Amino acid sequence: MNYRMIGNILGWLLIFESMFLAVPLVTAAICWEAEFWVFLGTAAFCLAAGVLITRRKPVSTTLYSREGFIIVALSWIVLSLFGALPYFMSGAIPSYVDALFEAASGFTTMGATVFPEVEQLPRSILIWRSFTHWVGGMGVLVFIMAFIPLSGGQNMHIMKAESPGPSVGKLVPHVRTTALLLYSIYLGLTLAEFIVLMICGMDPFEALNTAVSTAGTGGFGVRNDSMGGYSPAIQIAVTVFMILFGINFNSYFFIGKLRFREAFTTEVVAFLLVIIGSTAVIAININSIYSNMGESVRHSAFTVASIISTTGFSTEDFNLWPELSRSIIVMLMFIGSCAGSTGGGIKISRFLILFKGVKKELDVQIHPHRVKKIKIDGHMIEHEVVRSVNVYMVCYVLVFAVSMLLLSFDNYDLITNFTAVAAAINNVGPGLELAGPASNYSVFSEPSKVILIFDMLAGRLELFPMLILFSPNTWKK
């Protein structure tokens, strides 16, 4: 185990977190907010700790798969632990566990909050909440790799451990260049949304918060009603960008290369078809609630895009919609977005592999001697990927079941517990009943919040990095 290299990367993480804190620090300075000193102190603390840790140079910079998983898991834990300090030290959140919940919810892009009111918060706190989505959306270690060459080609282990989806590949030969390309696309789409929102009439500060929240598919807003109070034009714009950020970023790279067949993969097409189908069914189901079909379609499309991309914004309290619509919304929580996007959930690609795997097994039962391979877009899916997807689903069900059991000690209803865990592990944000879009997560006890924090981190990191921390074999030499 290369402990020095693990520590070195965690040190660099703290240095970069001190840089991230410059965003709320500058905001506090411009707005003359007392939180300036809190953010300055936190940034200085992160910088000092990071510099001290990185002074101890590793003997070897080689990383293997085990170190990659450990680095990713510990990095996100450390990021959240330090990211919670501004909430706690400013007094915005008196409990450190609650502050950690808010920070983890931000970085993992879950978007659930413990704040009953957000409109009264200082602007520096608001921008820090939203900016944590942007930092966590693409992956903080992917960001670091774009600027710091960690360990040559070995840092692919880190990218694989942090990136969402069943498999990760390089767009170009060098991992660092791939990271730069992904972040260029990410930044470009964020800026595009910011400009569109301002054209639609949104205040620049609110447009910035909304753009970075949408980019990370997080959902922290600056208004108590989320997106409900904005104009239809703004809501439609946000709907489009939520869908765009839920698509595999590789597709944008291939579109830029005019390789459209590679851009519009089976996964992307399936993602769009699920959105269209779900929007149509829900719009018809809720049509009696609204004055016209156009309004029903707008609210339906926004909610579907928000849930399947796991952004978590809302224009309406869908907890009050008919049972058919609520059931579809819960199903969309699990489906999630495309692999290689900033969205969460199980991912469309995994469902495609699972469905093809089931079809293959049914064929084998009928024709035992037939040899059939699973293919998607003409490419054969390796056995290791299929095995990984199957193991992932088993782990997913186990983590989900244990989490629900532990949350039941709070004695809330089954729908609240089920959808709260679903929202956490799929990084969606709002659930149903007490965890609905018109509520917040302050109702849960501190032990339950710790469970949900674990679920957020596990869901964002695709389970394995967090679970590996608890395996005794991980720490053996």
Q: Are 343 and 310 in contact, with CB atoms under 8 Å apart?
A: yes
Q: How far apart are CA 251 and CA 88, in angstroms?
A: 40
Q: What is the DSSP letter of 148?
A: S
Please report how the helices 204-215 and 175-199 are oriented relative to each other, as an axis angle in degrees rounded to 10. Answer: 140
Lowest mean pLDDT among 111-125, 146-160, 245-259: 146-160
> How many whole angstroms from its chain centre is CA 284?
30
Task: Return the DSSP state at 109.
Answer: T
pLDDT digits (tens, 9 = 90+) for 298-310: 999 999 999 999 9
Tokens describing residue 248: 């595999």
> Shortest CA distance to 141 belongs to which of 83, 55, 58, 78?
78
pLDDT at 89 over 90: yes
Whole-angstrom Cα distance, residue 415 to residue 14? Answer: 38
Give pLDDT tens digits for 342-388: 888 999 989 999 998 888 888 888 888 777 778 887 778 888 888 88
What would the pLDDT profile of 429-477 be if each residue is shown by its tens digit? 899 999 988 888 999 999 999 999 999 999 998 888 899 888 888 777 6
Neighbouring residues of 41: CB distance < 8 A, sequence distance ≥ 6: 89
Q: Is the pLDDT of residue 414 over 60?
A: yes
Own/partner pairs for 385-392, CB < 8 Å, 24+ apart? 385/166, 385/167, 385/353, 386/353, 386/357, 388/166, 388/167, 389/166, 389/350, 389/353, 389/354, 389/357, 390/354, 390/357, 392/166, 392/350, 392/462, 392/463, 392/464
Per-position DSSP letters for 372-396, written without gaps between them: ---EETTEEPPHHHHHHHHHHHHHH
**Cα(251)–Cα(305) distance, rounded to whole angstroms?**
18
CA distances from 26 to 32, 121, 208, 470 (A): 10, 16, 14, 39
What is the DSSP secondary structure assignment for residue 438, as one 8-state letter? T
Q: Most distant CA pair in the chain: distance in Å?
A: 74
Q: What share of the chain is helix, strand, coil (3-state, %, to 5)?
A: 70, 0, 30
Is 384 exposed, middle or buried, given 0-12, 13-18 or 19+ CB atoms closer than 10 A? exposed
Looking at residue 406, what is its pLDDT? 96
Burial of 348 (0-12, 13-18, 19+ CB in 10 A): buried
Task: Give the residue among 426, 420, 416, 361 at the shortest CA–CA distance from 396.
Answer: 426
Please report the pLDDT score of residue 379 as a whole number: 79
Residues in the chain: 477
Helix (H, G, I), strand (E, B) or coil at 45: helix
Residue 153, pLDDT above cutoff 70: no
Asked if 292 and 409 touch (Cβ cutoff 8 Å), the reply is: no
The values of phi and psi at residue 216, to 5°, are -85, 5
Please count the CA atoms within 13 angstroms of the CA of 339 that sit on its side-chain side. Answer: 19
**Residue-level pLDDT at 15:** 94
Q: Kindly state the percentage of the chain with pLDDT values over 90.
A: 65
Distance, in Å, from the CA atom of 134 to the CA atom of 209, rounded to the nearest integer, reads: 10
Residue 409 in tokens? 């000690």
Lowest mean pLDDT of 15-19, 138-142, 248-252, name the range: 138-142
Dihedrals φ, ψ of 165, to 5°? 120, 165
- Phi/psi for 463 (5° steps) reads 70, -55
Closest CA to 226 of 283, 281, 307: 307
Q: Can you tell me the distance from the alpha carbon of 411 to that of 414, in angstroms, rounded to the nearest whole number?
A: 9
pLDDT cut 70: percent of the chain above it: 92
For residue 229, how many C-alpha atoms fall within 13 Å in the half-sphere facing its CB? 10
Question: What confidence tier does 336 reach under pLDDT thresholds 50, 70, 90?
Answer: very high
d(CA 117, CA 359): 49
